Structures are given as C-alpha cells and as structure tokens.
C-alpha cells in the first residue's frame, strides 16, 4: 500500500513534506509504536534557490523524490540542511543527491559531515556550519542553532528570521500520525501522550539537554510564530505549549495524582500483593496506571516509560527469578534509571527460598538517585504485617515531595 503523503505550503514558499510511516512497528528497532510515526521534511523556495531541510527514512526515498517533484525539479535543489544525521531523517539523502546530480551543498554541523560520510559513503559538497551562523538562502535569513544531544551531538536547528519559523528537528516532535498538520486544540489533546512516550523513549536519556537547549533558545529572544519539527504536528496556534511541555517532562514535574504500578508475576503471588498497593493508591485518591507482566500479558516498555516520565511515584513489584530480578523488570529498571527523572519508589518482592530481587531493584534505583521509600520482600504471599507495610509505603509515596 502506498504511504500517505502530505505535501503542503505551510508558509509563503515554505512547504511541509510529511510521510506517514504505517510500516514501522518498532521505532529505532526498539520501541513498540502501534500509533506509528511521521517524518517531516521541509522545502523552502525563493530567489532561484531551493533549500531542502532533512529527508525521510530510506524506506521512502522514491516517494520523497516524487513528492519534491510535485513542487520543484529535484535538480534545482541548491542546499540540503541536515539537522540531524540519524537515518530516520537522512536515510533518503543519498537518493535525493543522486537525482539532484550532487549539485546541492549539504549543510551540516562538522560532526554531521563525518557521520553522513561514514553512514552512506558519499562525498557531496559540504558546507560546515556552527552555532550562530546566519545563511542568506532562498531570500531568507537562516540562523543556525546548535542544539547538542537533541537528539545526537551534531543536531542543529534552523530559524527562518523572515518567516519566524523554528525548524526544530527531533525536539518538539512526537510519535503517532496526527489527523491534522497543525496543532488544532482537539488534536493536541490526542497527541500529547504520544509526545510523552517519544520524549521518554528517544530523548529521556538526554533530558538535561532539553532544559539547556530550551534555555538557550529562549536566551536568543527569537520571535517564533511556528515550530516545525521533524516528527508529528506543526505548532502554529500555540508554539509555546510544546516548548513548555517538553521542559516540564524533562524536569520531571509530575502529575501529582498519577502512580505507576509495575508488577511481574509468574504464578500470581506477587500480583496479589501488588493489588493491595493498587487498592491503597485508589483509596487515597490517586490514579493508578497499572502494567502487569504475567502469563497473558507482556506490556511494551515504550508505553511504560511514557507513563513513568510524568508519574508522581512508582511502585515496582518483582519476584526473585534465578537469584535475580524477574528478567523483563530487570531490563525495565535499567531503562528507568537512564531515561526517567528521579522520583519516589516503593519496591515489593516475593521469593521462594532466598529473596534478592527487591533488594537488587532498590539498589539499582537508589543508586541512580531515586528515593526508595521502602523495600518489602517476603516469602510467597504477603502476611498481614507485610500488607500493612505496603499500605504505609503507599501513604509515604503520596507524602514524599
Ligand atoms: C523459573 C523460576 C525461578 C525462580 N527462581 C528463584 C530464585 O532464584 N530464588 C528464590 O528464592 N525463588 C525463586 N523462584 C520462586 C519465586 O520467586 C516465588 O515462587 C515467588 O513467590 C513467585 O511469585 P510469583 O508467582 O508472583 O511469580 C523462582 C520461581 C520460578 C518459577
Ligand atoms: Fe533522532
Ligand atoms: Fe527523528
């Protein structure tokens, strides 16, 4: 089936080229995304010059060339600004250059050049830019902003001074295939959970750089009428909303009532104890988001991380498995320590003969700065005393700042 492509002039002689990737199941071959994703490239035309900003994944190289042909002759592209060398945006660059006859200058940050050369074994004309450079192209003044680690070290943004548009690449993007091109109110409401999931999985590890780069952009005092990211919605109605949302996620400003509960249970003993915690959260007025790993369900890490990033606290329950943490939770805890802002956690464990899992979880999370409220580990099912401790632990989670 041919992919859906949206090619539209979104400002004067400035075009969005968006492809909806319905084929991808695992973003970065890791993150389950049944909601899918879009790749947004942009084209600016003027004064006899044509500037292409980013490309699509190589799966859609032919479609990108055809879409460009709907607006200009690809041979007339004079500049290709590569904001980020990751192949979801650069994969079809070699094909575009080929059709272009390698006439265009490839504009990148210095490290972008070496990555593109190494990935694709191409040697186009490069123009290396640095932070603060201003390029007069296609009748526009394009200001280059180096935004390291959003998402890679070489990532840059472009600000079109005349049109007041910020092309932000991965930052301010999200998963899913939004129904609209722009940030209509109702669509934004549907879309933000996919942004949260995207930030947690893709940029969560670099969250300090979200804060740093947002501050950097703000310090430039740019007047921004539109934010045009490389994934998802274009922000025209309220560009500040997505900037504030990214910052809140990066700072770990939580939803005060949301408690994430994650439980692994091979035969149900652990889950029975977890249900006490769930009940207690609800009794105290909290909202539980519950993920359970058992013999009928193995929920995707991507969804759990998306719900972890803005939760007030986490309750993690794991049986001991072969002298360790129940394997899926072991991997999940590792990801949480890397990608999720520190928050209070309550750890519960069940074992058969010698419990270690809960202790190990608390060491991993505690060692990464998470505030471990209590570690409650018991043989088999929870006793009345353990149940009381679980209830007290939940109460402390709410009280913890
Ligand atoms: C495959 C498997 C491996 C286990 N390995 C250990 C172990 O290394 N140490 C231990 O004390 N208990 C071990 N157990 C026992 C469980 O930790 C114990 O039964 C626990 O109460 C299980 O809770 P659950 O039914 O919620 O998974 C193991 C159980 C299974 C099924
Ligand atoms: Fe990226
Ligand atoms: Fe990307």
Question: Using a 6 Å cutoff on CB, does residue 381 contact ligand 1?
Answer: no
Among 218, 251, 284, identify where a domain stops: 251
For ligand 2, an ion, list residues with CB under 5 A: 86, 151, 170
Residue 222 in any domain: the answer is: yes
pLDDT tens string 256-267: 999 999 999 999
Range of the domain at 303: 255-394
Residues 292 and 270 in one domain: yes
Q: What is the pLDDT of residue 386?
A: 97
3-class state of residue 377 by DSSP: strand
Q: Are 86 and 151 in contact (CB under 8 A)?
A: yes
Residues 52 and 146 in one domain: yes
Residue 30 in any domain: the answer is: yes
Among 251, 280, 309, identify where a domain stops: 251
Residue 315 in any domain: the answer is: yes
Residues 103 and 126 in one domain: yes
Residues 224 and 319 in one domain: no
Give the closest residue (by CA) to ligand 1 atom 8: 322
Question: Using a 6 Å cutoff on CB, does residue 350 contact ligand 1?
Answer: yes
Question: Using a 6 Å cutoff on CB, does residue 327 contact ligand 1?
Answer: no
Return the sign of the alpha-carbon dihedral for residues 202, 206, 210, 211.
positive
When divided into structural domains, the chain yields a total of 2
What dihedral do alpha carbons 209, 214, 215, 218 form, nearest 10°?
160
Output the CA 170–ligand 2 centroid distance in Å.
Answer: 6
Residues 40 and 112 in one domain: yes
Residues 281 and 160 in one domain: no
Q: What is the CATH number of the domain that holds 371?
A: 3.40.50.360
Residues 244 and 331 in one domain: no
Of all residues in the chain, what percent carry a pLDDT higher than 90? 99
Question: Using a 6 Å cutoff on CB, does residue 29 contact ligand 1?
Answer: no
pLDDT tens string 212-252: 999 999 999 999 999 999 999 999 999 999 999 999 999 99
Q: What is the Cα–Cα distance from 270 to 272, expressed in whole angstroms? A: 5
Residues 278 and 237 in one domain: no
Among 251, 275, 310, identify where a domain stops: 251
Give the confidence band of 21 by pLDDT, cuts at 50, 70, 90.
very high
Q: Which atom of ligand 1 is nearest the CA belonging to 322?
A: 8
Residues 69 and 213 in one domain: yes
Residues 6+ apart with CB under 8 A from 181: 6, 8, 10, 16, 18, 233, 234
């Amino acid at each position: 089936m041919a992919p859906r492509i949206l090619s539209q002039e979104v400002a004067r002689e400035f075009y969005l080229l968006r492809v909806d990737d319905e084929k991808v199941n695992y973003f970065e071959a890791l993150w389950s995304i049944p909601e899918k994703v879009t790749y947004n490239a942009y084209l600016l035309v003027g004064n006899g010059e044509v500037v292409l900003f980013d490309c699509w994944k190589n799966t859609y190289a032919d479609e990108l060339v055809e879409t460009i042909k709907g607006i200009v002759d690809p041979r007339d592209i004079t500049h290709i600004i590569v904001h980020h060398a990751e192949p979801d945006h650069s994969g079809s660059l070699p094909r575009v250059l080929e059709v272009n006859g390698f006439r265009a200058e490839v504009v990148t940050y210095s490290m972008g050049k070496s990555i593109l050369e190494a990935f694709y074994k191409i040697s186009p004309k490069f123009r290396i830019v640095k932070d603060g450079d201003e390029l007069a192209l296609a009748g526009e003044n394009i200001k280059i902003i180096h935004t390291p680690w959003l998402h890679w070290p070489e990532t840059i943004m472009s600000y079109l001074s005349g049109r007041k548009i910020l092309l932000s690449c991965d930052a301010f993007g999200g998963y899913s295939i939004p129904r609209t091109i722009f940030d209509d109110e109702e669509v934004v409401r549907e879309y933000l959970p996919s942004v949260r999931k995207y930030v947690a999985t893709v940029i969560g590890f670099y969250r300090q750089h979200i804060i740093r780069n947002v501050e950097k952009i703000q310090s430039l005092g740019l007047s921004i009428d539109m934010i045009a990211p490389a994934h998802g919605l274009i922000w025209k109605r309220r560009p500040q909303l997505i900037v504030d949302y990214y910052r809140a996620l990066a700072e770990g400003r939580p939803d005060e009532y949301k408690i994430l509960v994650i439980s692994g249970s091979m035969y149900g003993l652990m889950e029975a104890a977890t249900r006490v915690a769930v009940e207690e959260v609800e009794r105290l007025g909290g909202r539980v988001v519950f993920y359970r790993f058992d013999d009928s369900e193995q929920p995707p890490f991507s969804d759990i991380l998306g719900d972890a990033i803005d939760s007030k606290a986490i309750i993690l329950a794991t049986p001991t498995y072969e002298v360790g943490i129940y394997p899926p939770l072991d991997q999940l805890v590792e990801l949480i320590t890397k990608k999720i802002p520190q928050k209070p956690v309550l750890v519960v464990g069940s074992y058969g003969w010698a419990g270690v899992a809960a202790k190990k979880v608390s060491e991993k999370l505690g060692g990464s700065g998470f505030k471990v409220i209590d570690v409650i580990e018991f043989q088999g099912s929870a006793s009345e005393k353990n149940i009381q401790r679980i209830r007290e632990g939940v109460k402390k989670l709410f009280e913890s700042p």
